[in-house]
Amino acid sequence: MSDRVARFTALVASQPENPLFRFSLAQALDAAGDPATAAAHYRLCADARADWMMPRILLGKALLRTGSAADRAAARPVLEEALALAIAQDHQDPAAELSALLASLA
C-alpha cells in the first residue's frame, strides 16, 4: 500500500462520511493501479452530491479500466451523466473530452 493510499485510508476510517477524504482516497487508489476499488469510492462521492462532476468523470474512466465487460457497460451512463453536468455547469473542456470518450465507446 502506498503512503498516499495509507494516509487517505486512515482519514476515511476516521471520517467515513467526508466525501473529500473519500475522493482523495479514490484518486490515490486509482493512481496506485486499483481502478476497481477506486470506482467504489468514486461512486460514493458521486452519490454524496448530485452536482459533483469530477467523481463521475473519474468513476467512468475507472470502470473502463477494470477490464470487466459489466463495468465497461456501467461506465456509459456515468459518463453521460458527467457530460450533462459539464454542459450544465459550462465546463467546456471536460464536455469536449467526455463527448469524444463517449463517441469512442459507440
Write the secondary structure of 6-61 as one string of H (helix), E (strand) and C (coil).
Answer: HHHHHHHHHCCCCHHHHHHHHHHHHHCCCHHHHHHHHHHHHHHCCCCHHHHHHHHH
Cα–Cα distance, 28 to 74 (Å, whole number): 22
Q: Is residue 61 within 8 Å of 36, Cβ to Cβ?
A: no
Q: Under 8 Å CB-to-CB from 7, ≥6 apart: which residues?
A: 28
The pLDDT of residue 1: 75
The proportion of the chain whose per-residue pLDDT surpasses 90, expressed as a percent, equals: 94
Question: CB atoms < 10 A from the CB of 77, how many?
Answer: 11
The pLDDT of residue 98: 98
Give the CATH class of 3-105. Answer: mainly alpha
Confidence of residue 94 (pLDDT cuts 50, 70, 90): very high
Give the tens place of pLDDT for each residue, 19-67. 999 999 999 999 999 999 999 999 999 999 999 999 999 999 999 999 8
pTM as predicted:
0.94
